[in-house]
Amino acid sequence: MAQAAIELIGINKSFGAVRANRDIALEIPRGTIHGIIGENGAGKSTLMSILYGFYQADSGEIRVNGKPTHIKTPNDAIAAGIGMVHQHFMLVENFSVLENIILGAEGEALLKNSISKARSELRRLEQEYGLEVDPDALIEELPVGLQQRVEILKALYRGAEILILDEPTGVLTPAEADHLFRILQQLKEQGKTVVLITHKLREIMAITDNVSVMRQGTMVATRKTSETTVEELAELMVGRRVLLRVEKDEAKPGAVKLAIKNLTVKDSRGVTMVDDVSFDIRAGEIVGIAGVAGNGQSELMEAVSGIRKAVSGTVMLDGTPIDLTGQADPGELRDRGLAHVPEDRHHVGLVLAFDESENSILGYHDKPQYLKGPFLNLDAIQKDAQEKIEKYDIRPANPRLKTANFSGGNQQKIVLAREIEQDPGVLIVGQPTRGVDVGAIEFIHKRLIAMRDQGKAVLLVSVELDEIRSLSDRILVMFAGRVVGERGPETSEGELGLLMAGVEHKEAAE
């Protein structure tokens, strides 16, 4: 085996009564791509945050290239040749690419000299690793895939030989993820060491040399990727056998619950994002919308849930018209039985500074069961939150914990529990398993199928084609704001991919 780039020996870390890491031992060979997987809350991100200096271990030792290394801050990690690309990017949106890359590493008193040298170095890095990006573009104008590329360039510019990526494909389309993997392979060929934290077992099998599995804060196994299977890794992660496919009976569609006709929606710049879209969803079925991110799916969900104003169109909920062209009230729609699980749980689904119990009733806090006269019934809210925690296996099981302190997957469960437990007639759900581990994915999928079987209507938007094909009874494909085709769940990924690329309905069917 190659010499270890990283050795973690006896790492322990606790947050109050919660032990996030327990006696962790890990070796990562130099010049390899090493995967670290585990359920939400298993301690993966905490461990990597210790390695990058965000946290300090309570005990244990870190060795970099065989040498004991004290890492108390990210600057210590950078000095040791370690870079990190976070799940939520650390970029200044109104700065240019070049300004973001040199930020904090200017090197000289005269900024003009620093920028000139940085531009030259950036050109070299782009050519060497296939990381082309316009150095003068503003971050806010770049798609997510290119923003991630900037984060990688930032780390390389600072001399990183070891690159940690935390859930790097959580915000990428399949095509962007494939491009990222080509970049990582090139980094490996150049002698870099890559540590990949992910929930996606197919990605582990596709790109890594070795994979380590964490469960409940401990390191339970390390395998050569070529000598393991998706099934074994899933069982190691969860501690039991996991159903990797969705089991469901034939759908029994009933009456139309939600009907959308000729809906048109523009964004804040006046660009048409949803262009004359019509479809309906019946009780007892899941309708999936497939498409590359940015083709109108998000704006469609926001308009139908009352968050975004529509330009024109007709929407009927249980036969009653809804005016989405005026000041639609999401609260009124919730009262009428339409629930919404947004794509972006951080900015739209949760208030991270609130307790878990507060987020568990957000938007429904005026319901009688949560009130005592004109005031909130705190005991009832705590009890309700505890019941949801147990039912949805939200970890840690502490309704008084700030929501920011939960892992991404458990934050997603908080949102799903809040919306599903209100027993809506129509559920609009965007990216339900983004950043969620394999055990939680199984649970979420079962809940969505159960809703369908209870006669609810579910509109599902996901960039995961496997998820769309597994859950949906009908699949609509959007491209450039229009529905360009309808297919059944048996449709191949290739055919759906053609439609997502804008190939017309008849061409894709041939």
Instruction: Please report, for the domain that includes residue 215, its CATH number.
Output: 3.40.50.300
**Coil, strand or helix at 504:** coil
Instruction: Judge whether 162 lies within some domain.
Output: yes
Q: Which two tokens stand for residue 88?
A: 């939520």
How many domains are contained in the chain?
A: 2
Tell me, what DSSP letter sits at residue 368? G
Instruction: Judge whether 72 lies within some domain.
Output: no
pLDDT digits (tens, 9 = 90+) for 155-192: 999 999 999 998 888 667 667 788 889 999 999 999 99
Q: Is the dihedral of CA 338, 342, 347, 350 positive or negative?
A: positive
pLDDT at 189: 93
Return d(Cα 302, Cα 324) in angstroms, integer.
10
Say whether pLDDT at 199 is over 80: no
Instruction: Judge whether 5 lies within some domain.
Output: no
Q: How far is CA 150 from CA 10, 134, 157, in A?
A: 34, 10, 10
Return d(Cα 474, Cα 493) in angstroms, integer.
14
| Mean per-residue pLDDT over the chain, rounded | 90
pLDDT digits (tens, 9 = 90+) for 411-445: 999 999 999 999 999 999 999 987 677 778 888 99
Say whether pLDDT at 245 is over 50: yes
Given a contact cutoff of 8 angstroms between Cβ atoms, the answer to whether 166 and 45 are in contact is yes
433 shares its domain with 478: yes
214 shares its domain with 267: no
Given a contact cutoff of 8 angstroms between Cβ atoms, the answer to whether 295 and 476 are in contact is no
Cβ burial, residue 279 (10 Å; 0-12/13-18/19+): middle
Give the mean model confidence (pLDDT) for residues 137-150: 87
261 shares its domain with 128: no
pLDDT at 504: 61
pLDDT at 493: 81
Q: Is the dihedral of CA 39, 44, 45, 46 positive or negative?
A: positive
Domain that holds residue 164: 32-44+82-238
Cβ burial, residue 124 (10 Å; 0-12/13-18/19+): exposed
Q: Quickly tell me which residue has 């946290």 as its tokens.
A: 55
287 shares its domain with 180: no
Give the mean model confidence (pLDDT) for residues 481-489: 95
Domain's final residue, options 205, 238, 271:
238
pLDDT at 5: 96
**Coil, strand or helix at 396:** coil
Cite the DSSP H helix spans in 454-492: 465-471
pLDDT digits (tens, 9 = 90+) for 46-75: 999 999 999 999 999 999 999 999 999 999
SS3 content of the chain, % helix, strand, coil (to 5): 35, 25, 35
40 shares its domain with 93: yes
Residue 500: pLDDT band (50, 70, 90) is confident
281 shares its domain with 317: yes
Contacts of 454 (CB under 8 A, 6+ apart): none
104 shares its domain with 36: yes
pLDDT at 107: 60
- Report which of residues 172 and 94 the model is more confident about: 94
Instruction: Judge whether 106 lies within some domain.
Output: yes
Q: Which amino acid is it at 129?
A: Y
Instruction: Judge whether 50 lies within some domain.
Output: no
pLDDT digits (tens, 9 = 90+) for 265-311: 998 889 999 999 999 999 999 999 998 878 999 999 999 999 999 99
pLDDT at 37: 92
128 shares its domain with 214: yes
Query: Going along 50-142, which residue ranges are E strands?
Result: 59-64, 67-68, 82-85
Instruction: Judge whether 301 lies within some domain.
Output: yes
272 shares its domain with 195: no
Determine if the pTM surpasses 0.85: no
Instruction: Judge whether 291 lies within some domain.
Output: yes
Instruction: Judge whether 63 lies within some domain.
Output: no
pLDDT at 174: 67
pLDDT at 507: 46
177 shares its domain with 321: no
Lowest mean pLDDT among 41-45, 271-275, 503-507: 503-507
Given a contact cutoff of 8 angstroms between Cβ atoms, the answer to whether 261 and 313 are in contact is yes
295 shares its domain with 328: yes
Give the mean model confidence (pLDDT) for residues 366-388: 96
Report percent pLDDT > 70 for the chain: 95
Return d(Cα 97, Cα 474) in angstroms, integer.
41
108 shares its domain with 223: yes
Say whether pLDDT at 402 is over 50: yes
